[in-house]
Structure 1
Amino acid sequence: MSAANLSRKATFDTMTCLGTETPERPGSEPTTMPVKFEDRNGYESGFLHGWDIPLPLAVGANASDMLPLRRGGTGVELKYQNFSVIMSASRRLPMLTAVNLLGLDREQVDRIDTWYFDGRLDKSDQWGDELYHGNSLDRGHMVRREDPVWGPLAKQANADTFHFTNSCPQMASVNQKTWVGLENHILKMAKADGMRVNVYTGPFFSDADVDYRGAKIPLAFWKVVAIVTEEGRPSATAYKISQQQELSELEYIFAGYLTYQISVKEVMDQTGINFSALLDYDGFTQRAVMTGERTIELINNLDRVKI
């Protein structure tokens, strides 16, 4: 145990909140070199038994916004252990993350404190701690830290989630409450049934996003989940969470939030990401096609989630 150093007088700026992570001082963030990623498996399209789902990519006008690797590989897919990321060139944030989640064979791995740049891209391609330092924005994991942590390389998967390429700015009340609640529900379901789950996550980019420190902070995020039920039925569901109220004032972090179940087609239409492999297996999408109307339900209780 360290002895008290009475020469270290207290200042307000040196105080820290218990139980929260403090961003590195901007400019001191470490970088993981490309050679360290050579053995990563990335997202596996055939992970769900009997249902092959290719890595969704942006199509149409948004296809040109997918950022190619600068070094350490070709194409636009950043492979990590059990998950992959597609970066947006214009926003310097992940456009899409895709993770394979195994309900069994999971390992408890301690959280780490340090976030890293991915050396396969330039630092200018990724937002580092200059975006998160000294405010109430969280470095929100797009791939939840626990989701890829399974198999013999669980510790590597855990560390891989702490790259800025897997981070989007989220207000603390969204990242620490709402998103976590939905993700816990999905993870609990997978653990209970020993299920395999594919989870795709990303931001809704829009012109209305909030300008802040040179970045545009997304007003909302989406999540798409694909599973095969115990009866062998393929199921795809989609969710939207808004942080618009929280972003109205970055200083006020205890505002309300809204979470919705929406159609996979709506995510596809708004993001330009190709989820066509899932549309036939989403009841919300099929209802929207039949009625010609948007299908959306407020999730004020996780028991209302439909699969």
Structure 2
Amino acid sequence: MDAGYDPLFLGAAAPLPAGAAGTVRLAYPRFTVALDPDRRLAAVTAVNIDGATLRDLPRTGDWEFDARVPTAQQAGPEIYARNDLDRGHLVRRRDPGWGDPVTARIATEATFRYPNAAPQASGFNQSKELWLGLEDHVLEYADATDQRLSVFTAPVLADDDPPYRGIRIPLRFWKIAAWLSPAGLAAAGFILDQSDLIDTRTGAVTPPPLGGFRTFQVPVQRIAEVTGLDVGTLTDADVLGSQGVTAARPLEDPQDIVL
């Protein structure tokens, strides 16, 4: 059952981004997490989504350590206690929840493993809702083809991330969505910046100000540069590159997204 991410799921190769040294690959139903044991957070996650058979399942599952990895290498519950940090799903709960009901439920519950979590400032505003809804928007666009997506998400594990309770809290997160268009493999890259929400100097996390989350559509190559990852064919498939766009685009509304 824990076959992990399938790089040929789209019908065109979309390999798991590589290059994060020392990571531990953990396969789950329909998704894979490459855990950085030193940072205790994921360097890469990848999930296959079949939009045609997605199920709207009730939320079930509790956050647990992955028994395959020492707990000291996972950012566990102590990171999220008594503060304004959320356990942010990297692979979203609903993403692997497709196909027959039993398999779909097993897959969604598997997303509640600490290697698939990363600390994100709590609270919702337009920008964060846009971040969480990016895959839905791309999935709707992909409806014209076979409704399949491969999505890669992780924090940017920067050297200057602020220390907090034995880890360093990422200030930025990235996402690449890939799908098969009539012209071949297509991809779009995004970065969420939560820098304005995180201040750990006092041992606390600042409450989220209005508009604190900033979401950008960026060239896929830019994600490769800030993460040090090899994103392979996803750079050539970038929809921004095909339109000659080389700069980050701030997003305020789903209609701002270039697909």
Fold equivalence (TM over 0.5):
yes
- Structure 2 residue 229 is the aligned partner of structure 1 residue 273: yes
1:112 Cα offset (Å): 2.2
Worse-matched range after superposition: 268-277 or 160-169: 268-277
TM-score (norm 2): 0.89
Report 1:58-73 matches (<5 A).
Answer: 58=19, 62-63=20-21, 65-67=22-24
Contact 1:173/1:255 (8 A) holds in 2:
no
Quickly say closer, same or farther: Cα 1:254–1:192, change in 2 above 3 A: farther
Alignment TM-score, normalising by the size of structure 1? 0.76
Tell me the residue number matched to 2:247.
295
**Superposed displacement of residue 192, structure 1:** 7.2
Higher relative contact order (CA 8 A, sep 6+): 2
Q: Is the alpha carbon distance of 1:295 and 1:228 closer, same or farther for their aligned partners in structure 2, counting shifts above 3 Å?
A: same
**Rounded Cα–Cα distance in structure 2 between residues aligned with 1:250 and 1:191:** 40
Give the deviation of 1:222 after TM superposition: 0.3
Q: 1:96 to 1:174 in 2, by over 3 A?
A: farther
CA contact (8 A) 1:103 1:193 kept: no
Q: Is the 8 A contact 2:79 2:165 kept in 1?
A: yes
Deviation at 1:306, TM superposition (A): 1.2
SS in 1 for 2:233: helix
Alignment correspondent of 2:120: 170
Partner of 1:237: 188
For 1:148 and 1:191, locate their aligned partners in 2 and report how far apart those are by CA, in whole Å.
Answer: 17
Match of 2:93 among 142, 145, 155: 145
Q: Number of residue pairs matched?
A: 250
Structure 1 segments unaligned to the other structure (5+ residues): 1-38, 68-76
Distance 2:105 2:235 in 1: 34
Taking the aligned partners of 2:237 and 2:163, their CA distance within structure 1 comes to: 37
CA RMSD in angstroms, aligned pairs only: 2.1
- In structure 2, the gaps of 5 or more residues are none
Residues 1-307 of structure 1: matches in 2 within 5 Å? 39-49=1-11, 51-58=12-19, 62-63=20-21, 65-67=22-24, 77-152=25-100, 153-173=103-123, 177-190=129-142, 194-229=146-181, 231-248=182-199, 250-256=205-211, 257-285=213-241, 294-307=246-259
Displacement, 1:185?
2.0
Residue 193 of structure 1, CA deviation: 5.6
Q: Report the alpha carbon displacement of residue 285 of structure 1 after superposing the two structures with TM.
A: 4.2
**Larger CA Rg, structure 1 vs 2:** 1
What secondary structure, in the 3-state scheme, does the structure 2 residue paired with 1:117 have? coil
8 A contact 1:246–1:255 mirrored in 2: no
Counterpart residue type for residue 109 of structure 2? A
